[in-house]
Structure 1
Amino acid sequence: MTRLGIIGSGSIGAGLASLASAAGHDVRIANSRGPESLAGLVAELGPGVQAATVEEAAAFGDLTILAVPLSAYGSLPIQELSGRTVLSTGNYYPSRDGRIPELDSLDLTTAEYESTVLPGAVIVKAFNNIVAHHIPSLARPAEAQDRSGMAVFGDSTEAKQLVAQVIGDLGFDAVDCGPLAESWRTEPESGAYTLVYAADSEGFSSDYTADPGAPVPADRLRELVAASTRAKVAEREF
């Protein structure tokens, strides 16, 4: 059993907490509104999930998962996260987060930028290239033939191994895709962003919540990540 702290109680945070609970892990979940606001959600997620403060979730157990907007990273508890493996699921969306020159210029990937905002944390990037409702719909047991891959980026082999183990427990095959400097390959507008998991990519943008998702085997995901291209954020449409 792994002990996980999850900061963020939206669709991604709650979805990962639910899968972790089903896998038998001990989970502490937090949001900016405080533990009392999570009573109803915790009751839905399963017996392995308890509400916590942000500081408690940041320091809890073996791994901290961040499922909050990039604009909220600056308010996270740096001391509690320092020295810990931190799985970041976030992306940079200028329309939501405001313009960040280091990301607009491509000087840094989002994950590398997060490392500067959270000094001391060992950032690993995963679950940022899949929409929230596809996470539970595509999760499969280890023996399933239609199990999907999940790209993992990080600069620490030990940290990536821990994250890979958790990803496997949650229902996906972890695919080591390289260091944080390569994590742009699954960022928005890349070739390995959310559409790779869509059952109907042509209709995805019009009603993406209705799309059930389609499995992406680990080998196919590895090919898509390797072939991914990069666009300057300033050239994107939002």
Structure 2
Amino acid sequence: MVIDTSNCYPHLSGRIEAVEDGVVESVYTPELLGRPVVKAWNAALAETQRTKGVPAGPPGRIAIPVAGDSGEAKRVAMRLVDDTGFDPYDAGALADSWRWQPMGPAYCTELTLEELPAALAAADRVKDAAVRDSMAERFAALGADPTLEDAVEMNRAAHR
């Protein structure tokens, strides 16, 4: 099993024909690798992962969506998410993982387990791709030294 923590950014990784043709990037990856893949941690910024993980129990714990086509592999990934200080959220099959791709409403917005389902449901592949493609402009507007809070707020504001 592979836990894929990455995101597809066409301007960085280049054009992937299958993804451009509508195949969900997380579905393409296991085909490419020939191994089961679970998608996790890619909806949280590195600094969020480094500084905001807390033991289970307190209100406001940040949730991490997890998707996979193997129930056992997904359970392993969800235990690991919990162990790293975040609430795992079963977000379905790999084909559903587009719902928290870059600049969607659930992408790097530090949502709780109660907030995450609505953000995933609000995802729109066309709109989210347009927001993603304006990301460089959005980051430039934050100034020279944006904080983690600035980046999270920018991502949240993109969907208000």
Q: TM-score, normalised by structure 1?
A: 0.52
Gaps of 5+ in 1: 1-84, 198-215
Max Rg structure: 1
Maintained 8 Å contact 1:140/1:146: no
- From the superposition, tell whether residues 189 and 105 of structure 1 become closer, same or farther in structure 2 (CA, over 3 Å): farther
Which deviations, in whole Å up to 9, do the C-alpha atoms of 1:203-231 show, x marking residues without a partner? xxxxxxxxxxxxx2212112211221112
Deviation at 1:110, TM superposition (A): 1.2
Q: How far, CA to CA, are the matches of 1:94 and 1:139 in structure 2?
A: 29
In structure 2, the residue matched to 1:178 is: 92
Q: How does 1:51-200 map to 2 (within 5 A)?
A: 85-106=1-22, 108-119=23-34, 121-194=35-108, 196-197=109-110
Identity rate, percent: 34
After superposing on structure 2, the runs of 4+ consecutive aligned residues of structure 1 that deviate more than 4 Å are 232-235
Which deviations, in whole Å up to 9, do the C-alpha atoms of 1:124-144 show, x marking residues without a partner? 001111111111222011122
Maintained 8 Å contact 1:104/1:232: no
Which deviations, in whole Å up to 9, do the C-alpha atoms of 1:72-94 show, x marking residues without a partner? xxxxxxxxxxxxx2110011111
Deviation at 1:188, TM superposition (A): 1.2
Q: The residue matched to 2:79 in structure 1 has which SS? A: helix
- From the superposition, tell whether residues 234 and 145 of structure 1 become closer, same or farther in structure 2 (CA, over 3 Å): closer
Which deviations, in whole Å up to 9, do the C-alpha atoms of 1:32-58 show, x marking residues without a partner? xxxxxxxxxxxxxxxxxxxxxxxxxxx
- From the superposition, tell whether residues 89 and 231 of structure 1 become closer, same or farther in structure 2 (CA, over 3 Å): same
Maintained 8 Å contact 1:91/1:128: yes
In structure 2, the residue matched to 1:228 is: 123
Deviation at 1:232, TM superposition (A): 7.6
Relative contact order, higher structure (CA 8 A, sep 6+): 2
Gaps of 5+ in 2: 137-160
Deviation at 1:161, TM superposition (A): 0.5
Q: How far, CA to CA, are the matches of 2:106 and 2:79 in structure 1?
A: 22
- Which structure shows the higher helix fraction? 2
Q: How far, CA to CA, are the matches of 1:140 and 1:133 in structure 2?
A: 14
Maintained 8 Å contact 1:184/1:230: yes
- Which structure shows the higher strand fraction? 1
Q: How far, CA to CA, are the matches of 1:140 and 1:189 in structure 2?
A: 25
Which deviations, in whole Å up to 9, do the C-alpha atoms of 1:3-45 show, x marking residues without a partner? xxxxxxxxxxxxxxxxxxxxxxxxxxxxxxxxxxxxxxxxxxx
Alignment RMSD, CA only? 1.8
Q: How far, CA to CA, are the matches of 1:219 and 1:157 in structure 2?
A: 23
Q: The residue matched to 2:126 in structure 1 has which SS? A: coil
Q: How far, CA to CA, are the matches of 1:126 and 1:231 in structure 2?
A: 22
Q: How far, CA to CA, are the matches of 2:116 and 2:7 in structure 1?
A: 19
